[in-house]
Amino acid sequence: MPRLSGRLVVASHNAGKVREIGALLAPLGVEAISAGELGLPEPEETETTFVGNAALKARAAAEASGLPALSDDSGLEVFALGGDPGVYSARWAGPNRDFAAAMRRVWDELQRGGGDLSARFVCVLALAQPGGSVETFEGEARGQIVWPPRGDKGFGYDPIFRADGQTLTFGEMSHDEKLPLTHRARAFEKLLAALK
């Protein structure tokens, strides 16, 4: 059973992600600090699964800082594309993080694929303790790919993803509308349940 108190390293250099995770942890009385604030290097994501990459990042931050560390690895899986872009979701956007091009690539490849537009966002959270244990928690949000992209809220592939039971894409929803439906919120529910 994981335990948390005091300070925790969020194994990310993404200020927005650190803020979001910090807000989710605040009710537990945990102070979230980012790997970037501590000057920790970002490890190369060499694993081929969300679980593997999340664990790699959390373990590296825990060992470098001597504090518990929490990381997240997430992406979009399109079933007709064999789960792509999957763990390579950010890489499909290239070094300049051009998600307009990445969304176009998803759509272009789907046009060759036979009509199944079902997809899911996946998030794996990994909680690592200095010196060893790593526990992971997975959440998903299932839905459909839509075209053309809709909405300028959110980030990444949000404008082409409509969650099951919704009429708006994640890109059209406010943060407060979207958050409870997300893969990250569902993974956090599992983490928080384990901490209680």
Give domain status of residue 1, yes or no.
no
Give 99-112 as a 3 state SS string. Answer: HHHHHHHHHHHHHC
* Structural domain boundaries enclosing 144: 7-195
Q: What CATH number is associated with residue 87? A: 3.90.950.10
Q: pLDDT per position in the chain (196 positions), as tens?
A: 455 667 889 998 777 677 778 777 877 788 888 898 899 988 888 899 999 999 999 999 999 999 999 999 999 999 999 999 999 998 999 988 899 999 999 999 999 877 799 999 999 999 999 988 999 999 999 999 999 999 998 789 999 999 999 999 999 999 889 988 999 889 999 998 887 7
Domain total of the chain? 1
Instruction: Locate 134 and state its tokens.
Output: 């790593």
> 73 catalytic, yes or no?
yes
Per annotation, catalytic residue among 73, 98, 108, 164:
73
The predicted structure's pLDDT at residue 104: 97
